[in-house]
Chains A and B, each alone.
Chain A
Amino acid sequence: MDDDARLAFDLARDLDAAFERLVVVHQDRLFTIALRMLGDRGAAEEAAQDAFVRAYRALGGYEPARIRELRLRPWLSTIVLNLCRNHLTRRGRARPGDRSLDADRAIGVEPVDRAHGSPIAIVEARDARDAWAARVLALPPAYRGPVVLRHIDGLSYPEVAAALGRPEGTVKAQVHRGTALLRAMLEAEARRQPTEMTA
């Protein structure tokens, strides 16, 4: 039995006693998904919080057998992605690329894996992360979700497919299309920024 299956088992037995563990185990994931989908710390925190609250209320209405069978990782991903989608719809047509992006350091977000080494290496790693975050946000939402789940959250393809409610072949194609777009952005940026320097 893996950790999530054990957690689902405990949630089925005593929701109130086990719920805090669900939050502890999954809060970094849900916040990361929301932040990379929305690019806005406040909105991401709200979406992650709302996702857990909805999860709690849903679990409160499920039979224990149904809770035990839940695959918590994709199930929670579905909830937070739906909330992100609602948020993006509300935000209207303003494309994320058009608005100023919250750089991670400006909003006090800490990466799970901190950069090590010299101060310059740390600054460069930070700038590189901000640039990648901006590229992910520039993806069309249809590709952003699959790429975030697969490459940032680290879900397996079957889990991504379960989270998005789409066939596995479809999400594979969407992830590949998304990463191809990211590569194209990277190349376009490299063409725009000549590397030589004049003093």
Chain B
Amino acid sequence: MNLLPTPTDPMDAALGSLAVTAPSTLKAAVLVEVGLLDRYARIDSPIGPLTVAWNGLGVSLVDHEPDDAAFETRHAAATGRPSLPAERLPERMADAIERRLGGDRRARIKLDLRGHSAFEQDVWRKALEIPRGEVRPYGWVAAEIGRPKAVRAVGTALAHNPVPLIVPCHRVVRTDGTIGQYSLGGPENKRTILAAEGLDPAQMEAAAARGERLVGCASTHIVCWPTCRTGRHMLARNRRPFRTLAEAAASGYRPCKVCRPVDGSLAAA
């Protein structure tokens, strides 16, 4: 029962008139903060403008769809939530994304990955560990997350990465060393991004075509993935390409403890 005072007293009426309506922005701000509604805005990237959606829990979707209506449809299908356009990303989020894309791994970007399986999240977390300017094969991700036979599923999980570029699925390549597919507009975009990160995709693919999956150093007798940062200062005369870890071991090379190379099935992924 609502016992509103009867406004016989002018003061009661005057106080009652102090009720106001909430600002029109309040509801959306609340729903975004609790993660029931997303906002989206554009950012620049090496492959052109991208649309980024977020809410209070973090970034929820990155897509190259330039059209608002089409993006909202895709976002709703992917997240089950509505979305509203915004002028720009929140300053701290924009700053963190820019720093991260520039190679600063300390920049923290919150991600909203609700609704995705634990396996998918394991795969994406592992991809986040691959430094800028390096790549790893699908088989490495599978081995590292303790599912060495799930190479194909790793490929599928990476293809479903809702936040490409932020979770760098572009740094995961096919087990045979070729560049592989890319969800954000195909392999050409993957080459562009890897080149922007300081790699030479054409050279990587040429080496893969020669069957060189691993590189050993003749002075240290350590064998690495070709893009491992610890192998970068290797003198050209010490470079020893290998097809497999077993082949390297037979020549007295031990696997690098930083990039942890593995032998994967060349047929898979």
Q: Which residues of A contact B (CB under 8 A)?
A: 16, 19-20, 23-24, 27-32, 35-36, 41, 45, 48-49, 52-53, 56-57, 104, 109-113, 125, 128-129, 132-133, 136, 147, 150-154, 156-157, 179, 182-183, 186
Contacts and interface: CB of A to CB of B under 8 A. Distances in A.
A49 B33 contact: yes
B36 A112 contact: no
Given A31-B26, A110-B21, A157-B3, A136 B15 contact: yes
B36 A19 contact: yes
A19 B5 CA distance: 30
A53 B29 CA distance: 10
B70 interface: no
A182 B26 CA distance: 31
B20 A52 contact: no
Given A152-B16, A157-B3, 20 more contacts: A19-B31, A19-B34, A19-B36, A30-B22, A31-B22, A49-B33, A52-B30, A53-B56, A110-B20, A111-B18, A113-B17, A113-B19, A128-B14, A129-B18, A132-B14, A133-B18, A136-B18, A151-B12, A182-B11, A182-B15
A20 B31 CA distance: 7
Contacts of B20: 28, 31-32, 35, 104, 109-112
Contacts of B30: 23, 27, 49, 52-53, 56
A133 B11 CA distance: 12
Given A19-B34, A111-B20, A136-B18, A49 B29 contact: yes
Contact of B34 (A53, A156, A179): A53
16 contacts: A19-B31, A24-B27, A28-B22, A31-B21, A31-B23, A31-B26, A45-B26, A49-B26, A49-B29, A111-B18, A113-B16, A129-B17, A129-B18, A152-B19, A154-B4, A156-B3
Nearest to B37: A20
B21 A154 contact: no
A175 B16 CA distance: 14
A156 B14 CA distance: 18
- 7 cross-chain pairs, A with B, having the tightest CB-CB distances, nearest first: A31-B22, A27-B22, A151-B15, A156-B3, A52-B30, A112-B19, A56-B34
Nearest to B20: A109
Given A16-B36, A19-B34, A157-B3, A132 B26 contact: no
Interface of B: 1-5, 11-12, 14-23, 25-27, 29-31, 33-34, 36, 56
A156 B2 CA distance: 6
A24 B30 CA distance: 11
Contacts of A48: 22, 26
A32 B19 CA distance: 6
Contacts of A113: 16-17, 19
B90 to A, nearest CB: 14
A183 B11 CA distance: 8
Contact of A27 (B18, B27, B36): B27
